[in-house]
Structure 1
Amino acid sequence: MTPITEPTTARHLRPSVIAANPWLFPIPEIARLANGLEVWAYNLPGQHVIALDLTLDIDLSVEPRQLEGIATMALRTSDEGSHDHPGPRLAEALESAGAAYDGAINHHFTGCSLDAPTTRIQTALDLFREILTTPEHNPADLSRHVSLRLAEIEQERVSGPATANRSTRQLMWGRDQRRGRPSGGTAETLHRITRDDLAAFHASTWRPDVARVVIAGDHPDLIGLVTEALGDWVRPTTPAVTTAEVPTALPPAGAGVVHLVDRPEAVQVDLRIGGVGLSRRDRDLPALQLAGVAVGGSFLSRLNERLREDLGYTYGIGFSHRPSSSSSRWQVSTSVRTEVAADALAETIPLLDLGSHPLTDREVDDARAQLVTIAPLRYETASAIVGQAAAIATDGLDVDWINRYFARMSATDPDEATAVFSRVVTPQSQQTVMVGPADALRPALKARGFTVLPHRADD
């Protein structure tokens, strides 16, 4: 029998641990094609699904007032058929190429996205070109998407959270500004859109000189791919119009004012507190984002710990800040039981005042870990890289902005985070909206010292 020998000590030595290499958001190769199309390309070895975002500088204020929603219809019908692949043939061709097409509307841009395997990317890009340049604009498809949008509007009208968001938007921007009205249009405006209107809007706004492509994946010549597919996209001879309105936030009604939207049948109350935020160009943005996570951007944030864990008023409450080139805003969002809604608001307001309770080292360190330390994981896919880079490019920022942003965030201390948050989030700058049964809420709010103003959420 072979004797059993003990392993040598050397085989039990632990491997040495070395410091991780500094992580940086990658820097793209940039090109501008002859037709004006800007391209940011990220060659990412090992990423065998290529991701692409194309953003068009189409501010919704360029929509004719009587045809609002036409930008949304242009996007939603864009992949319903093309000149070479009419009707469902386009979707079938995309599926055969293993490609996925999607899009999104923002008040200041229209975005289209494409994902496809590296081995099929050329075919997918050819189909993408058809979507951009020769959409079919079938009247039946337009009619169907108008019907779907009308159904969305009806669903939003009976939804407490959607009503709260709509009311906050109206109070912040007003109904006379485009940002104060629904991005997808209203029943009145949608019914007016014709096939000819749609084709004319697409021809005048979907153009390469107001577009940029961000593409990422494992390919040695991504710019060459885009050039071959979109280099012959013809730029119209007429000047581009990308915006017709510079939004101006309306002054809030004042500290302690609650705009109350009556929903007698509601079984819970939807609460929103919001105000104007900071743009990506503001050097204080990293400090505000850190403070926002500490106050209400994580499960163990101050807001969630107090209103959920300590008091049991809600399943969750959060603070969010959405930077934008023209209409940044911050918002506190939650849903609470009707009988404790006034108490929940009274508990929330002091938690937004950091003057008497500044952020601690631990809170800022935890927020920094959530935003900075895990960034390499957050940006480990081509689509994540593309999404972040497209946001930077759309705001007119340079390719290294995200690295400077994380460096500033890493250097921010609790005093700075507290000071910036306190400057942006003030009682005087807040719009407060509560949606629920007014007869039950009004006396409870007044008893808590709030001034109650009725608000109608009709668009």
Structure 2
Amino acid sequence: MSSATHRTAEEIGRTALGPRPLPALGAQRAAADLSHVDTTLGNGLRVLAVRKATVPLVEVRLWIPFAGEDRLHPATAEVLAETLLTGTERRDRIEIDAELALIGGDLSAGVDPERLVMSGSALSSGLPTLLDVLGDVLTGASYQDNQVARERERLIERIAVSRTQPRTIAREALQKHRYGDHPATREVPQAEDVAEVVPEQVRALHAASVLPRGSVLVLVGDIDPDGVIGELERAFGGWSSDRSAVRLPALPELTGGDLLLVPRPGAVQSQLRLSAQALPRTDERYAALQLANLAFGGYFSSRLVENIREDKGYTYSAHSGFEFTGGTAVLNVDADTASDVTAAALLETRYELGRLGLVPPTAEEFESVRQYAIGSLLTSTSSQTGLAGQLLALATTGLGAEWLAEHPARVAAVTAEDVAAAALEFFAPKRFTGVIVGDADLLAPKLTALGDVRVGETVVGETAE
């Protein structure tokens, strides 16, 4: 076999006669068939039910604001999520699993500082059973002592492993650098805090915080959106409270500043994490910023990937993208590099940030990212699972199916000038802050020479990569 020579993204896109022409942007259509109902039940739960009858299944997503200020809240919330489906007053764990299996269904729960999310699916014919089990869990989860003890010990083991992972260390360092002591930073609880959690605390947290008012339920599948509302009123009739679920306090706005070098002695790789304030989906400039981000680092043919991955080989994966929390958004840039090229990778990343504003995307780049944005949205919403995820992300910020259906047209209406303006304003290197996690003995001399980098405290954790 002959070895293939490396070709850049630009070379791949050319022929002997010149650049491969992009096909014309076709007429835009809605992101999905969004026959739906968007309403609020009597208990204050917002419901977005969408018919998508491609297969005889239904996807269910329940989002409950789940913030808390108590020191043990993150640990208690994690234990709650792990034991929520282990039994109720009517069903034990085996009965829950058996009923779900009979309808081809499943249910899971996860939590972070902002929300408790329950995800499920089933055959459409089994939706009444799925909703009955879900309603039972929401109103009657028992958190038996032995189940809490078992899941608590498993959670402690998983946290111990997680805290040795470079990506976990980098994420925690970034959160603390961006937001200080804000509750949003407590994504992974301390193992010693989890060890303190007892069943009574979990039951109390459920009673105080698993609330319908202010929460959102999304259903997508082979359903009658109007008819399902009555089923929901029956299934969730006992789930009520005069109080609203607890939302995370607003995040402070990010301003540019020094990068923090977080020492991790002996590490052979570094984690580069940059972040800047961005625009929420509700802003009229969001579509232009979305395209600017794609051109910078949002997909494989982006400038950042071409530079530090394809051309220089500094990293296997480089990416930029949006992170949405409540009504705010930030723009993140991520790359993992070998220690000896970390400073060079940072230099090139800053160069590409500045170049995007000073040398805006060409007409060819602009058309490519616009088609990618529209095509990827249509692809991501073509399945029931993808559509449910997209709608849940929108619904939690007050938006609905209309925004999703109209977004391809908004992207199509963006001009090259709009993208250039967004690039100049939002990708200026001085707007970014962030962290670099790595071996400070090797990294500090070169990074500090680049400027705007200061050395922080050593992190606790294993250094094996």
TM over 0.5: yes
Matched letter for residue 320 of structure 2: F
**SS in structure 2 opposite 1:158?**
coil
Q: 2:211 matched to which residue of 1?
A: 207
Counterparts in 2 of 1:207-246, with a 5 A limit? Answer: 207-220=211-224, 221-230=227-236, 232-237=237-242, 239-243=243-247, 245-246=249-250
- Alignment pair present for 1:338 and 2:339: yes
CA distances 1:147-186 after superposition (whole Å, capped 9, x unpaired): 3332333223322222111111100000x21112x22422
**SS in structure 2 opposite 1:323?**
strand
User: Of the two, which has the highest radius of gyration?
Assistant: 1
**SS in structure 2 opposite 1:322?**
strand
Q: Distance in 2 between the 1:136 and 1:449 partners?
A: 55
Asked if the contact 1:81–1:135 (Cα under 8 Å) also holds between the matched residues in 2, the reply is: yes
Q: Distance in 2 between the 1:355 and 1:21 partners?
A: 28
Q: 2:367 matched to which residue of 1?
A: 365
Q: Distance in 2 between the 1:440 and 1:68 partners?
A: 35
Counterparts in 2 of 1:315-334, with a 5 A limit? Answer: 315-334=316-335
Matched letter for residue 30 of structure 2: W
CA distances 1:334-373 after superposition (whole Å, capped 9, x unpaired): 1111111111111110101222211122222211222213
Asked if the contact 1:279–1:328 (Cα under 8 Å) also holds between the matched residues in 2, the reply is: yes
Counterparts in 2 of 1:292-303, with a 5 A limit? Answer: 292-303=293-304
Q: Distance in 2 between the 1:370 and 1:161 partners?
A: 28
Q: 1:348 matched to which residue of 2?
A: 349
CA 1:291/1:55 → structure 2, altered by over 3 Å: closer, same or farther? same
Q: Distance in 2 between the 1:292 and 1:250 partners?
A: 18
Q: Distance in 2 between the 1:21 and 1:366 partners?
A: 15
Q: RMSD in angstroms over aligned alpha carbons?
A: 2.3
Of residues 89, 99, 102 in structure 2, which corresponds to 1:83?
Answer: 89
Q: 2:40 matched to which residue of 1?
A: 32
Matched letter for residue 137 of structure 1: Y
CA 1:139/1:334 → structure 2, altered by over 3 Å: closer, same or farther? same
Q: CA deviation at 1:458?
A: 5.9
Of residues 355, 377, 402 in structure 1, which corresponds to 2:404?
Answer: 402
Q: CA deviation at 1:50?
A: 0.7
* Stretch moving more, 184-193 or 76-85: 184-193
* Stretch moving more, 116-125 or 292-301: 116-125
Counterparts in 2 of 1:354-433, with a 5 A limit? Answer: 354-433=356-435
Q: Distance in 2 between the 1:449 and 1:34 partners?
A: 57
Q: Distance in 2 between the 1:149 and 1:30 partners?
A: 37
CA 1:224/1:67 → structure 2, altered by over 3 Å: closer, same or farther? closer
Q: Distance in 1 between the 2:451 and 2:132 partners?
A: 62
CA 1:451/1:24 → structure 2, altered by over 3 Å: closer, same or farther? closer
- Alignment pair present for 1:55 and 2:60: no
Q: Distance in 2 between the 1:103 and 1:367 partners?
A: 35
Asked if the contact 1:259–1:432 (Cα under 8 Å) also holds between the matched residues in 2, the reply is: yes
Q: Distance in 1 between the 2:408 and 2:78 partners?
A: 34
Asked if the contact 2:28–2:409 (Cα under 8 Å) also holds between the matched residues in 1, the reply is: no
Q: CA deviation at 1:399?
A: 3.4
**SS in structure 2 opposite 1:308?**
helix
Q: 1:5 matched to which residue of 2?
A: none
Asked if the contact 2:278–2:329 (Cα under 8 Å) also holds between the matched residues in 1, the reply is: yes
CA 1:451/1:380 → structure 2, altered by over 3 Å: closer, same or farther? closer
Q: Distance in 1 between the 2:431 and 2:192 partners?
A: 33
CA 1:21/1:326 → structure 2, altered by over 3 Å: closer, same or farther? closer
Q: Distance in 2 between the 1:123 and 1:422 partners?
A: 53
Q: CA deviation at 1:27?
A: 4.5
Matched letter for residue 58 of structure 2: I
Q: Distance in 2 between the 1:50 and 1:392 partners?
A: 19
Q: Structure 2: give runs of 5+ residues left out of the alignment.
A: 1-25
Matched letter for residue 182 of structure 2: Q
**SS in structure 2 opposite 1:355?**
helix
CA 1:381/1:139 → structure 2, altered by over 3 Å: closer, same or farther? same
Asked if the contact 1:322–1:328 (Cα under 8 Å) also holds between the matched residues in 2, the reply is: yes
**SS in structure 1 opposite 2:58?**
strand
CA 1:179/1:421 → structure 2, altered by over 3 Å: closer, same or farther? farther
Of residues 77, 96, 101 in structure 2, which corresponds to 1:71?
Answer: 77
Q: 1:436 matched to which residue of 2?
A: 438
CA 1:384/1:250 → structure 2, altered by over 3 Å: closer, same or farther? closer
Q: 1:127 matched to which residue of 2?
A: 133
TM-score, length of structure 1 as denominator length:
0.88
CA 1:20/1:291 → structure 2, altered by over 3 Å: closer, same or farther? closer
Asked if the contact 1:260–1:434 (Cα under 8 Å) also holds between the matched residues in 2, the reply is: yes
Matched letter for residue 124 of structure 2: T
% same residue: 26
**SS in structure 1 opposite 2:382?**
coil
Q: CA deviation at 1:21?
A: 7.4
Matched letter for residue 243 of structure 1: R
Matched letter for residue 373 of structure 1: G
CA 1:91/1:303 → structure 2, altered by over 3 Å: closer, same or farther? same
- Alignment pair present for 1:198 and 2:198: no
Q: Distance in 2 between the 1:20 and 1:288 partners?
A: 22
Q: Structure 1: give runs of 5+ residues left out of the alignment.
A: 1-18
